[in-house]
Amino acid sequence: MRHLILSAAIPALLLGACAGTPNMDEYFSPMSVTGADETVVSTNDSPPPHFPRDLTPAGVAAADDHLALEQVDGAEAMAFVAEENRKSLAALTGDPRYETFRREAEAILTAEDRIPMPSFLGDGVGNFWQDAANPKGVWRRTTLDSYRTAQPRWETLLDIDALAKAEGRDWVFKGADCLAPDETRCLINLSDGGKDAVVVREFDLTTKRFVDGGFNLPEGKHRIEWLDRDTLLVATDFGPGTMTESGYPFIVKTLKRGQTLDQATEVYRGEQGDGGYGVSPAVYRDKEGVVQAVIITRPLDTFRSETWSLGHDGKAQKLNLPERVGISGVIDGRLVFSPDQAWSFDGEDYVAGSLLALPLGVLGETRPHGRIGRDDALVFQPAQRQALQGVAVLSDTLVAAVTDNVAGTLLRFQAGPSGWTAAPIAVPANLAVGLGDSSKSRGQVFVSTQGFLVPPTLSLADASAGSLTEFKAAPAKFDASTHVTEQYEATSTDGTKIPYFVTRPRDLAMDGTAPTVMLGYGGFQISLNPAYKPEMGKLWLERGGVFVQANIRGGGEFGPDWHQAALDGNRQRAFDDFAAVARDLERRGITSPRHLGIYGRSNGGVLTSVSITQHPELFNAAVIESPLIDMLRYHELPAGASWIGEYGDPRIPEEAEWIARYSAYQQLRPEVDYPRVYITTNTRDDRVHPGHARKFAARLGDQGHDHLYYEDTAGGHSNDADPVANARRWARHYVYLAQQLMD
């Protein structure tokens, strides 16, 4: 299975059961109201003016006076966007700093001396490259030996700028899936404007042309795998009734060369009520390209799933695996996976976050094997502050990136007569360690290391030798000599210790005046590890700013338990953790509310919008990007229903009650002095609907709160369409932050 990933989802209104009119006092508590020179406590326990008295979906919709803004290209919505953009661009691009910021960011994002991130491709390596001359990018390849040199000799395979111009489409390259072992036939994913939905076309690397009469799928959120040269496994929209309410497929079919989708043969079917991101096939091969296993994952919700194995006879059997599980691959007939919950098998108990390898045969409906002992099954068990961050499955070795208190390490594991043995692969201390593409045939995996002040280094790990050879080192893009990075802990409301990183000037006066940006996410078991952010360093740190990264609950920094501690009705813990870090920064004298801003995107938009409404006294700025905000209607907006396993289901009265307690769109009050926030999103974002951001901005305006709103018209959720446009995006962000925190 080979994927080049370039980046890390509408039903009609559903009427839920009504538990009666709730007691409004349950949803409101006194709120701090910040004036110019003092902080007072509001004693207003009445509901916010737009809080629905009826929390059923119909009642929530009835209380929403901005439903028209959910129409992506609706006339009222686009008029709102045009007027808000006009005002915000005047404030941001009209700032004398904007052009300098834009120019500096563009120089970084289009620099020729960036590391071209590689993927193994046939006998060499491939890379997707964007710069000022090729903003949409070129897909190219070279030999491994040439790649190691300072000036590799690249061969262009596909020019996306030329393709977009020739076809009159706003094509964005979303990766390629090439068939092992020769990898000369590839499925190219092209997005119109940066959406998650893509069209898929077969491409021949020997002719460097799309295959006449080859595989060609219309736009959709497909799940596709090569089964053999003339057969695909496809999960997609096969017509009415074949998609879940989240807009994802639940049926898998085999598609033969020359067939249309309606001629494909069904091999697996979930249910239309399934959650998550849709049923997904995966084909695992050995180093010769021979299929070892076909695994189908059927999501029950965002995180729970059933795992099925598709046999050579085309029949699927359910595997005895936990519902919360991550599968890494197959090695020597054994499935490599990590249970995200405590799990027992053959009388042995395994903790959440362990790494296991079990023969596929023992996991099926029949058991040709005897009992599997702990030594044979257990590859790795994390300590209390450790977590798996990535696993590469090679022909006879596993390589894993593991964090220990958010610092990266690298381990290799090999099976022996007495079980699995572990050995470290030396990497620089106190940096993030990430795994890139791997090759079973070569027994190699690309490894990156980086820190907040340390530019990325790309190395190649040889699994058999346990060695790491440096290939490329990115040059510094800002002066890091003026700053240091330190790790602290804050104490959250329930006593939990929350780690966070501070990157600050060495000579910082601890008087609370430092302009500080705090980043958070806190969801979906996604870890915020140390990362070199050159545009942040150049536009913010070099100008005396401080950068803080908070590792709050909901993320994956300490494994599945850290994530699950903030799920569903416990979501408030993530918000409390974030507020605790803000208070700890003030206690240490690093900054103060006047100079503290926050940034979050996607799920981080939930975090930042809630933080502003719950604790306006703690912050003076918030960049709320591509956000979820209306959490009582998020399931109505694509692809919201796929995240019910993370947030809960607003259609269930009990769950609607605790979602309503924090949903920022409903909690806004006209009498509260919020900071001037900056909300931004993208019209073509088909993952997090732009209606969230639009409605929040509109309600802020209705209540007389100063704010900025900007909506770009292309780029999608990943903002990976164009580095030149991305430079403008970062310039807007940092102009706003400078206005709020430095001026």
Kindly give, in sequence order, each residue whose CB lies less than 8 Å from that of residue 253, ignoring residues fewer than 6 positions away.
233, 234, 235, 238, 261, 264, 265, 266, 267
**275, HSE (Cβ side, Cα atoms, 13 Å):** 17
Please give the single-letter amino acid code of residue 460: L
* Catalytic annotation present for 88: no
Which residues lie across from 680 on neighbouring strands? 625, 710
Partners of residue 158 on adjacent β-strands: 139
Beta bridge partners of residue 350, listed in sequence order: 343
**Catalytic choice (602, 611, 642, 718):** 602
Q: Name every residue whose Cβ is closer than 8 Å to that of residue 123 and which is 6 or more positions away in sequence.
A: 143
For residue 473, cis peptide bond before it (omega within 30 degrees of 0): no
CB atoms inside a 10 Å sphere around CB 347: 9
What is the rounded distance in angstroms from the CA atom of residue 657 to the CA atom of residue 53? 11
Question: Residue 371 burial (CB < 10 Å; 0-12/13-18/19+)?
Answer: exposed
Give all strands of the β-sheet with 378-380 in edge-to-edge order: 325-331, 334-339, 355-359, 378-380
Give the dihedral of Cα atoms 161, 165, 166, 169; nearest 10 deg.
100
* Active-site pick, 50, 692, 705, 717: 717
Residue 602 annotated as catalytic: yes
How far from the centroid of its chain's Cα atoms is residue 480's Cα? 27
The beta strand positions in 257-333, using DSSP E, are 265-269, 280-285, 291-299, 305-310, 316-318, 325-331
Closest among 497, 500, 528, 503 to 516, alpha carbons compared: 503
- Which 3 state secondary structure label does DSSP give 598? strand
Catalytic residues: 602, 717
